[in-house]
């Protein structure tokens, strides 16, 4: 039996395989509101064969968006647009739908990647960003405002409000975005956090705000629905956030009942030096799993079915999440199941798509038409 196609239980959610479609920013929203592009994108990848699809970084306030085109859940209009999409998804797919809640902090007010990705000045339609400390992401950029007590409360409350909206939408799970140089990661990393109050300095202090957000979201999201967190396991910069600190953070989350750690890396500094290669981040998931016992998701240039199988079967991670691989092959889960002897669900309209040599792929042996 394929390990990749074995079930896994996360609180009250049972997934039929160990594959997740990773949250992928589409930069195609209108003031945070999902558009026709999101309708197409989400409906398409909900049929990938993965047991869980995670909606892209969904921002908890307008100034927390990475770009003007980033998705939000901070208004009734945002919620209504996603409700329409999710209603369509549920008609045709049994895939669990997760949502990544996020705040970009000092990396907000940026141009879309295909427009250069640089900070947009307020004079050109950008906005004032916020962060743990008044330190710009890169030299020459406008500095963010250091968050005061009122700002911290506003953002905590925004995460809570969006978690409630997510539950109303029927979202099955939440992933908090504590990675890639965005706000929670900015608090964790000594590169971006130079505070001298209870939210800066020691590791315990730097972890405080992300843990407060987790606690606040966990308190309002139904107890049978899982919550995970994406982390950057290392900054890839000397003197920055690293794997030993990540393990301590994961243990603190474990004590609070975290359901998974999605182990990524980097993003807090343009000085990072990342050794890219297939599965280059898998050792982080493996170390976190080994040292804490927390369920982990491996990410990072995982594109081959046999590689994904080896990761799960070898105990390096409990699940894998694919991004680019799913965009390139929107039926990746089907093809992996065919290769590994697994089984996926598909709508009956597609049952006749499987080659004659793969009749068991969809759990059906015969079908026909007049």
Question: DSSP string covering 67-102, please?
Answer: STT--B-SSHHHHHHHHHHHHHHHHH---EEEEEEE
Structural tokens at position 359: 């009749």
Q: What is the dihedral of CA 257, 51, 25, 250, to 10 degrees?
A: 20
Strands (E) across the chain are located at: 8-10, 13-15, 19-21, 52-59, 96-102, 130-131, 145-146, 173-178, 227-232, 260-264, 296-298, 319-322
CA-based nearest residue to 67, from 131, 114, 123: 114
Structural tokens at position 159: 């995460």
Is residue 78 within 8 Å of 32, Cβ to Cβ?
yes
Terminal alpha carbon distance of the chain: 36
Catalytic site residue from 27, 182, 199, 214:
182
For residue 40, give Cα distances in angstroms to 244, 252, 332.
Answer: 40, 38, 17
Please say if 182 is a catalytic residue.
yes
Instruction: Please name the residues in contact with 23: beta carbons below 8 A apart, sequence gap of 6 or more.
Output: 54, 55, 56, 57, 98, 100, 175, 177, 230
Structural tokens at position 189: 């990393």
Integer Cα distance of 285 and 292 in angstroms: 11
Q: Give strand pairing partners of 77.
A: none
Looking at the annotation, which residues are catalytic?
182
């Amino acid at each position: 039996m394929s390990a990749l196609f074995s079930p896994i239980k996360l609180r009250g959610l049972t997934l039929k395989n160990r594959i997740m479609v990773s949250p992928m920013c589409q930069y195609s929203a209108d003031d945070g509101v999902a558009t026709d592009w999101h309708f197409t994108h989400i409906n398409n990848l909900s049929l990938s064969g993965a047991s869980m699809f995670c909606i892209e970084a969904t921002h908890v306030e307008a100034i927390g968006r990475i770009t003007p085109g980033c998705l939000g859940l901070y208004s009734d209009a945002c919620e209504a647009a996603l409700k329409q999409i999710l209603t369509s998804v549920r008609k045709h797919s049994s895939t669990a739908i997760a949502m990544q809640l996020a705040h970009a902090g000092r990396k907000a007010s940026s141009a879309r990647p295909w427009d250069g990705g640089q900070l947009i000045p307020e004079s050109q339609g950008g906005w004032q960003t916020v962060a743990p400390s008044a330190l710009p992401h890169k030299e020459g950029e406008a500095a963010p405002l250091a968050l005061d007590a009122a700002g911290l409360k506003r953002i905590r409350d925004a995460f809570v409000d969006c978690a409630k909206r997510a539950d109303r939408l029927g979202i099955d799970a939440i992933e908090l975005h504590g990675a890639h140089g965005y706000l929670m990661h900015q608090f964790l990393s000594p590169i971006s956090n130079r505070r001298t109050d209870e939210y800066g300095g020691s590791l315990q202090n730097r972890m405080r705000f992300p843990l407060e957000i987790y606690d606040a979201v966990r308190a309002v999201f139904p107890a049978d629905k899982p919550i995970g967190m994406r982390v950057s396991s290392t900054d890839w910069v000397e003197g920055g956030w690293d794997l030993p600190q990540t393990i301590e953070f994961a243990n603190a989350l474990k004590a609070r009942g975290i359901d998974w750690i999605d182990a990524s890396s980097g993003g807090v500094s343009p000085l990072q030096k990342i050794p890219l290669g297939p599965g280059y981040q898998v050792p982080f998931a493996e170390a976190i799993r080994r040292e804490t016992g927390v369920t982990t998701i491996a990410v990072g240039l995982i594109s081959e079915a046999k590689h994904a199988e080896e990761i799960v079967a070898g105990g390096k991670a409990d699940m894998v999440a694919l991004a680019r691989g799913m965009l390139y092959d929107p039926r990746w889960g089907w093809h992996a199941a065919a290769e590994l002897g697994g089984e996926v669900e598909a709508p009956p309209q597609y049952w006749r798509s499987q080659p004659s040599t793969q009749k068991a792929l969809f759990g059906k042996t015969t079908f026909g038409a007049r």
